């Protein structure tokens, strides 16, 4: 058996703010939330299973210069859906690494958008195909590696 991702756990500085972002902007469903030993948490899903757990236990925002998570990549059904997410994220005021949908590398059919959550965690929403002709931030290296 090959391992696969079960769910992702993220430390956040403000659970209410992060919950609003992941639930209201990205559309994850709230499965449950609670508090134990002074730590608040929320479980978010896709309607069928747990996808993301938010833990309010961080004192500082994400630090891309430390070992650990580089970015969290999510996959959408179509490039049109990626563009819908982009509009919602821009309305929310998200910080983007690139303008619009970009290809993963020059000539790739895959691509997406690259942005940051309220704590600065790097996120990607992409599609495996449909981004043909989109600009590529890098000719050979993946776009996700340079933000």
More confident residue, 14 or 69: 14
Return the active site residues: 124
Average pLDDT, the chain: 93
Task: Indicate whether 135 pLDDT > 80.
Answer: yes
pTM: 0.91
Tens digit of each residue's pLDDT (9 = 90 or more) over 70-124: 999 999 999 999 999 999 999 999 999 999 999 998 889 999 999 999 999 999 9
Rounded CA separation 27/127 (Å): 17
Smallest Cα–Cα separation from 55: which of 99, 19, 2?
19
Per-residue pLDDT, averaged over 53-76, amounts to 93
């Amino acid at each position: 058996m090959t391992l696969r991702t079960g769910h992702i756990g993220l430390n956040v500085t403000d659970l209410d703010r992060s919950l609003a972002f992941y639930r209201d902007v990205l559309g994850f469903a709230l499965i449950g939330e609670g508090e134990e030993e002074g730590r608040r948490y929320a479980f978010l899903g896709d309607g069928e299973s747990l996808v993301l757990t938010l833990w309010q236990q961080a004192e500082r925002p994400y630090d891309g210069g430390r070992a650990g998570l580089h970015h969290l990549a999510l996959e959408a059904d179509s490039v049109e859906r990626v563009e819908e997410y982009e509009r919602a994220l821009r309305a929310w005021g998200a910080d983007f690494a690139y303008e619009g949908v970009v290809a993963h590398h020059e000539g790739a059919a895959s691509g997406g958008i690259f942005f940051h959550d309220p704590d600065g965690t790097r996120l990607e929403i992409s599609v495996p195909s449909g981004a043909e002709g989109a600009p590529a931030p890098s000719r050979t290296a993946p776009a996700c590696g340079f933000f």
